[in-house]
Structure 1
Amino acid sequence: MTTSVEAINPGDVRTRTEIRAVFGGSGQGGICASQDMHSVNLYSDPDVGEQAGYYDGWLAEEDELGLVFEYTGAGKSGDQTFDGVAGSGNRAILRHAEQDRVLRVFTRVGKLAGTDTKTHRYLGAFTLDGMQPYVWRRVHGEDGHERNVIVFRLRPEDTVAPAVQDVVPAAEETTAEFVPFQVVTAAMLQSDPATSGGLPLPKQRASKGSGSRAAAPNAETSGTFVVPEAFGTKLSLRAATAATVAVRHEAELTQAYKAHLDAAGHRTGAFQIKVKGLTSTLRTDLYDATDHVLYEAKGSNSREDVRMALGQILDYSRYVTSPEHEGEPRRVILLPAAPTPDMYTLLDRYDVAVVYRGDDGRFVGDAVPHVD
Structure 2
Amino acid sequence: MTTSVEGISPGDVRTRTEIRAVFGGSPQGGICPSAAMRSVNLYSDPDVGEQAGYYDGWLAEEDELGSVFEYTGAGKSGDQTFEGVAGSGNRAILRHAEQDRVLRVFTRVGKLPGTDTKTHRYLGAFTLDGGQPYVWRRVHGEDRNERDVLVFRLRPEGAVQRATQDAIPPAEETTAEFVPFQVVTAAMFQTDPATSGALPLPKQHARKGSSSRKAAPNIETSGTFVLPEAFSTKLSLRAAAAATIAVRHEALLTQAYKAHLDAAGHRTGAFQIKVKGLTSTLRTDLYDATDHVLYEAKGSSSREDVRMALGQILDYSRYVKSAEHEGEPTRVILLPGAPSPDMYALLDRYDVGVVYRSDDGRFVGDVVARVGE
TM interval, short-chain normalised: 0.7 to 0.9
Q: Give CA deviations for 1:121-160 in whole Å, capped at 9, x if unaligned.
A: 1111111111111100000001110000000011111254
3-state DSSP class of the match of 1:343? helix
Cα 1:182–1:281, aligned 2, differ >3 Å: closer, same or farther? Answer: closer
CA–CA separation in structure 1 for the residues paired with 2:161 and 2:25: 26
3-state DSSP class of the match of 1:312? helix
Which position in structure 1 is the counterpart of 2:320? 320
Which position in structure 1 is the counterpart of 2:333? 333
Cα 1:52–1:104, aligned 2, differ >3 Å: closer, same or farther? Answer: same
Cα 1:92–1:235, aligned 2, differ >3 Å: closer, same or farther? Answer: farther
CA–CA separation in structure 2 for the residues paired with 1:287 and 1:349: 22
Cα deviation, residue 275, structure 1: 0.2
Cα 1:32–1:92, aligned 2, differ >3 Å: closer, same or farther? Answer: same
Aligned residues of 1:231 and 1:251 also touching (Cα < 8 A)? no
Cα 1:5–1:115, aligned 2, differ >3 Å: closer, same or farther? Answer: closer
Which position in structure 2 is the counterpart of 1:193? 192
Structure 1 residues 83-232: aligned runs within 5 Å? 83-160=83-160, 162-175=162-175, 177-178=177-178, 181=180, 189=188, 193-197=192-196, 198-205=198-205, 232=219
Which position in structure 1 is the counterpart of 2:356? 356
Q: Give CA deviations for 1:234-274 in whole Å, capped at 9, x if unaligned.
A: 45622234546533331121111111111111110000000
Unmatched runs of 5 consecutive residues or more in structure 2: 209-216, 233-239
Cα 1:194–1:103, aligned 2, differ >3 Å: closer, same or farther? Answer: farther
Aligned residues of 1:66 and 1:205 also touching (Cα < 8 A)? no
Which position in structure 2 is the counterpart of 1:222? none
CA–CA separation in structure 1 for the residues paired with 2:7 and 2:332: 54
Which position in structure 2 is the counterpart of 1:237? 228
Aligned residues of 1:196 and 1:236 also touching (Cα < 8 A)? no
Amino-acid identity (%): 81
TM-score w.r.t. structure 1 length? 0.88
Which position in structure 1 is the counterpart of 2:282? 282
CA–CA separation in structure 1 for the residues paired with 2:184 and 2:97: 26
Structure 1 residues 12-51: aligned runs within 5 Å? 12-51=12-51
Aligned residues of 1:72 and 1:149 also touching (Cα < 8 A)? yes
Q: Give CA deviations for 1:19-38 in whole Å, capped at 9, x if unaligned.
A: 00011000000000011111
Q: Give CA deviations for 1:75-131 in whole Å, capped at 9, x if unaligned.
A: 000000000100000000001111111111111111111111111111111111111
3-state DSSP class of the match of 2:47? helix
CA–CA separation in structure 2 for the residues paired with 1:245 and 1:21: 45
Cα 1:190–1:300, aligned 2, differ >3 Å: closer, same or farther? Answer: farther
Which position in structure 2 is the counterpart of 1:217? none
CA–CA separation in structure 2 for the residues paired with 1:364 and 1:323: 28
Higher mean alpha-carbon deviation, 167-176 vs 183-192, is at 183-192
Letter of the aligned partner of 2:248 in structure 1?
R
Unmatched runs of 5 consecutive residues or more in structure 1: 209-229
CA–CA separation in structure 1 for the residues paired with 2:30 and 2:305: 38
Letter of the aligned partner of 2:143 in structure 1?
D
Higher mean alpha-carbon deviation, 184-193 vs 54-63, is at 184-193
Cα 1:140–1:365, aligned 2, differ >3 Å: closer, same or farther? Answer: same
CA–CA separation in structure 1 for the residues paired with 2:361 and 2:324: 32
Cα 1:148–1:235, aligned 2, differ >3 Å: closer, same or farther? Answer: farther
Cα 1:318–1:183, aligned 2, differ >3 Å: closer, same or farther? Answer: closer
Cα deviation, residue 161, structure 1: 5.7
How many aligned positions are there? 347
Aligned residues of 2:83 and 2:189 also touching (Cα < 8 A)? no
Aligned residues of 1:189 and 1:195 also touching (Cα < 8 A)? no
Aligned residues of 2:269 and 2:288 also touching (Cα < 8 A)? yes
Cα deviation, residue 370, structure 1: 1.1
Which position in structure 1 is the counterpart of 2:266? 266
CA–CA separation in structure 2 for the residues paired with 1:174 and 1:342: 35
Aligned residues of 2:82 and 2:189 also touching (Cα < 8 A)? no
Letter of the aligned partner of 2:22 in structure 1?
V
